[in-house]
Amino acid sequence: MNEVMNVAEIFGKNVFNETVMKERLPKGVFKKLKKTMEDGAELDPSIADVVAHAMKDWAIERGATHYTHWFQPLTGVTAEKHDSFISVPDAEGRVIMEFSGKELIKGEPDASSFPSGGLRATFEARGYTAWDCTSPAFLREDALGVTLCIPTAFCSYTGEALDQKTPLLRSMQAIDVQALRILRLFGNTRAKRVVPSVGPEQEYFLVDREKYMQRKDLIYAGRTLFGAMPPKGQELDDHYFGAIRERVGSYMKEVNQELWKLGVTAKTQHNEAAPAQHELAPIYDEANLAADHNQIIMETLKKVAGRHGMTCLLHEKPFAGVNGSGKHNNWSLISDDGINLLNPGETPHENIQFLLVLACILKAVDKHADLLRESASDVGNDQRLGANEAPPAIISIFVGEQLEDVINQLCSTGEATHSIKGGKLMTGVTTLPDLDKDATDRNRTSPFAFTGNKFEFRMVGSSDSIAPSTVVLNTIVAEAFKEAADELEKAEDFDTAVHDMIKQMLSEHKRIIFNGNGYSKAWEEEAEKRGLPNIRTMVDAIPALTTEKAVKLYEEFGVFTRSELQSRAEVEYEAYVKAINIEARTMIDMAGKQIIPAVIKYTSELAESLKDVRQACPEADVSAQTELLMETSRLLAQMRRALTELIRVTEACAGVAGAGACARAYRDQVVPAMAALRAPADQLEMLVDKDLWPFPSYGDLIFEV
């Protein structure tokens, strides 16, 4: 009871939300601001000063000393530059706290240290940040004190997007316009806006901070680069969970509190597959806010872990052989009059609308599978996708048995006359029966699954922003809606036209539907027969960004220009090279300075003891010592050769000109050389005395949080 009261009290406490605005702003100003927020337009400069003033007073009353434009550059983490509210002291040496409309609306951070993929030469380093007033300002409390954070978009001086937010907002406009056209076709005249809703489920690992600090791979690369599997893996006992519960529980409690204060609707779950792995899912929100909130969630998970003597790992694959972490992007389209376009309707009319929307999504995903795959690629996710735990690298759609049956009937006879779950179904005459949520959600191996009233895109990596995948979904579906609306608006007989269109689209794009086991080898083969792309690595995925198909799509809907796409491809290649380079150098360091010396020490001790035993008792059987010595020495030699080779290829690849060519070289040469170094090291870990092994093992890290 007490807790519930507290939640209600603290929820949104640190957010400059509508309630606060209404309270603190003159009526006229509030109205104008609200309109700006609804239309997603730019803030009227004439009211900016008033809004800034109210925001400043509110923040200062709560102890804020600084403000920052908070933005998401293409580095993958949020960035900020802090300014204090303090003004130039007056003649008496007094300062006042200032914050103008200009400072609220626009910032000019030096952008030269953020990746731009060639969009902005360093001599033109100016970039600017602009307040996205659809995402409310918030106060962050931490060791720095209290900071007013203003969510902003980040662009080059010439207006090109250098961040995640700008294209997301653009894509939301695109889908809004096209989705409204679809609603109008079905007679809806009330709806004024359609907004994509997103609910991201965030997976993460927790490890003990002291143990974390002993592993350079975790510190530098965020994942282990060496490590033999513990005797016990996934098949986790309750015993282990019991042991970690106290510490993790108090951590989660604090995470929730922090998030609630920031207006993030967190609800936690403990039930993740791997030991030490957890999940946090908020209640879904408008895409743009959901993306910001997910960034806040990731920041909070990391920050709070430190206070509990732990480190939060957001990497997609912190431990080889142990389940990795993803971020399911639950996506739907909801109108301001409360209609979820992905909800099978209650009237025949809504039903056809649903089938049209579904057909458009199948078409969009089939046509742009490469873009969707690309949106989920990051360096860490290369370790996860297609590795028998996460969805394969092939995009397909799970619709469930019931819907697939309806689709099959529509494709073969042009009419669906019955439904598997009983009940008669005559499209256009009666309604689709309620889809059984349990029946639709059973398949966990599909990358893109229909789950009753939303699609769940399960490929996104745990450390990645949800913006890119949401941008793709919004834009590709906007295109399919546009093509449908263009035709249907001209149709003389709407009912026949829409019926024929659904049938045609479903028939043409049915190949993207797959309800079976996505982890199986058979599916890979089947997908190849169907002509579905199987894009295995991030480097293979990046070219999708700049195909003529992609440029045409994004330019048509004003989401990206050609040069913005080229810059993003460049940034991604660079990110890949940088990440792999750090991993390779970390391995070189650990192998050379830690593992090899430890193994040498162990072999010397073995040799010594072998000598001692022989001396003390010449008849003793020393085959165990001898074999161990032979085996460790053999692996040591193998490791040493692999180390030399990794050093060589890393140096060679670093010199390859051109971002794409360099990334391919790293993928083809450095990545295999890393695997070749790891293999003997992991075998050695199983042989060498645990006391001599230079860092905590998988078992120590995973089971002893």
User: Which residues ranging from 324 to 343 are in contact with Mg ion (CB under 5 A)?
Assistant: 328
Pick 201 or 203: Cβ nearer ligand ADP: 201
Q: Which residue from 133, 149, 281, 364 is in contact with ligand ADP, where contact means CB under 6 A?
A: 281
Give the interface segment with ligand ADP, choosing from 104-112, 355-363, 369-377, 450-458 (CB under 6 A).
450-458
The angle subtended at Cα 631 by Cα 627 and Cα 632, nearest 5°, is 120
Pick 284 or 523: Cβ nearer ligand ADP: 284
User: Which residues ranging from 197 to 226 are in contact with ligand ADP (CB under 6 A)?
Assistant: 197-199, 201
What, of ligand ADP, Mg ion, none, does residue 546 touch, CB below 5 to 8 Å by kind?
Answer: none
Q: What is the DSSP string of 15-56?
A: B--HHHHHHHS-HHHHHHHHHHHHHT-PPPHHHHHHHHHHHH
**Binding of Mg ion at residue 211 (CB under 5 A)?**
no
The amino acid present at 4, given as its one-letter code, is: V
SS3 207: strand
What, of ligand ADP, Mg ion, none, does residue 636 touch, CB below 5 to 8 Å by kind?
Answer: none
What, of Mg ion, ligand ADP, none, does residue 448 touch, CB below 5 to 8 Å by kind?
Answer: none
The least CB distance from residue 272 to ligand ADP, in Å, is 13
Question: CB-hemisphere CA count at 13 Å for 461?
Answer: 26
Pick 11 or 240: Cβ nearer ligand ADP: 11
Give the interface segment with ligand ADP, choosing from 19-27, 66-74, 279-287, 467-475 (CB under 6 A).
279-287
**Binding of ligand ADP at residue 340 (CB under 6 A)?**
yes
What, of ligand ADP, Mg ion, none, does residue 308 touch, CB below 5 to 8 Å by kind?
Answer: none
Pick 278 or 328: Cβ nearer Mg ion: 328
Pick 197 or 475: Cβ nearer ligand ADP: 197
Sign, CA dihedral 60-64-68-70, equals negative
What, of ligand ADP, Mg ion, none, does residue 632 touch, CB below 5 to 8 Å by kind?
Answer: none
In angstroms, the CA 415 to CA 496 distance is 12
The least CB distance from residue 683 to ligand ADP, in Å, is 39
Q: Which residue from 68, 147, 178, 330 is in contact with ligand ADP, where contact means CB under 6 A?
A: 330
Rg (CA), the chain: 28
Q: How many CB atoms lie within 10 A of CB 401?
A: 15
Strand pairing report for 64-71 and 310-313 = unpaired
Give the interface segment with ligand ADP, choosing from 228-236, 277-285, 397-405, 589-597 (CB under 6 A).
277-285
Give the interface segment with Mg ion, choosing from 224-232, 323-331, 397-405, 555-563 (CB under 5 A).
323-331
In angstroms, the CA 378 to CA 388 distance is 18
113: its two tokens: 């240290």
Mark residues 410-449: x for contact with ligand ADP by CB under 6 A, - for none.
Answer: -------------------------------x--------
What, of ligand ADP, Mg ion, none, does residue 340 touch, CB below 5 to 8 Å by kind?
Answer: ligand ADP
Q: Which residue from 451, 474, 475, 625 is in contact with ligand ADP, where contact means CB under 6 A?
A: 451
Distances (CA, A) of 141 to 4, 8, 53, 233: 22, 19, 21, 38
In angstroms, the CA 199 to CA 470 distance is 11
Q: What is the DSSP string of 308-333?
A: TTEEEE--S-SSTTS---BEEEEEEE
User: Which residues ranging from 165 to 204 are in contact with ligand ADP (CB under 6 A)?
Assistant: 197-199, 201
In angstroms, the CA 542 to CA 471 distance is 15
What, of Mg ion, ligand ADP, none, does residue 281 touch, CB below 5 to 8 Å by kind?
Answer: ligand ADP
**Binding of Mg ion at residue 454 (CB under 5 A)?**
no
The least CB distance from residue 244 to Mg ion, in Å, is 23
The least CB distance from residue 453 to ligand ADP, in Å, is 5
The amino acid present at 22, given as its one-letter code, is: K
The least CB distance from residue 203 to ligand ADP, in Å, is 12
Give the interface segment with ligand ADP, choosing from 170-178, 329-337, 481-489, 560-568 (CB under 6 A).
329-337
Pick 160 or 456: Cβ nearer ligand ADP: 456
The least CB distance from residue 189 to Mg ion, in Å, is 35
The least CB distance from residue 445 to ligand ADP, in Å, is 14
User: Which residues ranging from 639 to 698 are in contact with ligand ADP (CB under 6 A)?
Assistant: none
From 546, 547, 542, select the one nearest 573 (Cα to Cα): 542
From 67, 300, 283, 289, select the one nearest 165 (Cα to Cα): 289
Element (H, E) at 573: helix 562-590
What, of ligand ADP, Mg ion, none, does residue 199 touch, CB below 5 to 8 Å by kind?
Answer: ligand ADP
Q: What is the DSSP string of 209-246?
A: HHHHHT-HHHHHHSS-SS-PPPSS-SS--HHHHHHHHH
Report the residue closest to Mg ion, judged by CB.
328
In angstroms, the CA 681 to CA 226 distance is 7
Report the residue closest to ligand ADP, judged by CB.
199
User: Which residue pairs from 591-594 have beta carbons closer than 8 angstroms and sit at least 24 positions apart in sequence?
Assistant: 591/226, 591/639, 591/643, 591/646, 591/677, 591/681, 592/643, 594/216, 594/694, 594/695
Pick 215 or 384: Cβ nearer Mg ion: 384
The least CB distance from residue 451 to ligand ADP, in Å, is 4
From 374, 377, 288, select the one nearest 549 (Cα to Cα): 374
Pick 136 or 199: Cβ nearer ligand ADP: 199
Sign, CA dihedral 62-63-69-71, equals negative
**Binding of ligand ADP at residue 327 (CB under 6 A)?**
no
Number of residues that bind ligand ADP (CB under 6 A): 17
Q: Which residue has the tokens 């908020």?
A: 282
Q: Which residue from 283, 429, 661, 675 is in contact with ligand ADP, where contact means CB under 6 A?
A: 283
Give the interface segment with ligand ADP, choosing from 282-290, 475-483, 534-542, 635-643 (CB under 6 A).
282-290
**Binding of ligand ADP at residue 453 (CB under 6 A)?**
yes
The least CB distance from residue 288 to ligand ADP, in Å, is 13
The least CB distance from residue 459 to Mg ion, in Å, is 13
Task: Give the chain's count of helices (H) and strands (E).
Answer: 25, 15
250-268 CB burial, b ≥16 within 10 A, e <16: ebbebbbbbbbbbbbbbeb
**460 neighbors 471 (Cβ within 8 angstroms):** no
Q: Which residue has the tokens 């309750």?
A: 238
Pick 176 or 685: Cβ nearer ligand ADP: 176
Chain residues in the site for Mg ion (CB under 5 A): 328
Chain residues in the site for ligand ADP (CB under 6 A): 197-199, 201, 281-284, 330-332, 340, 441, 451, 453-454, 456
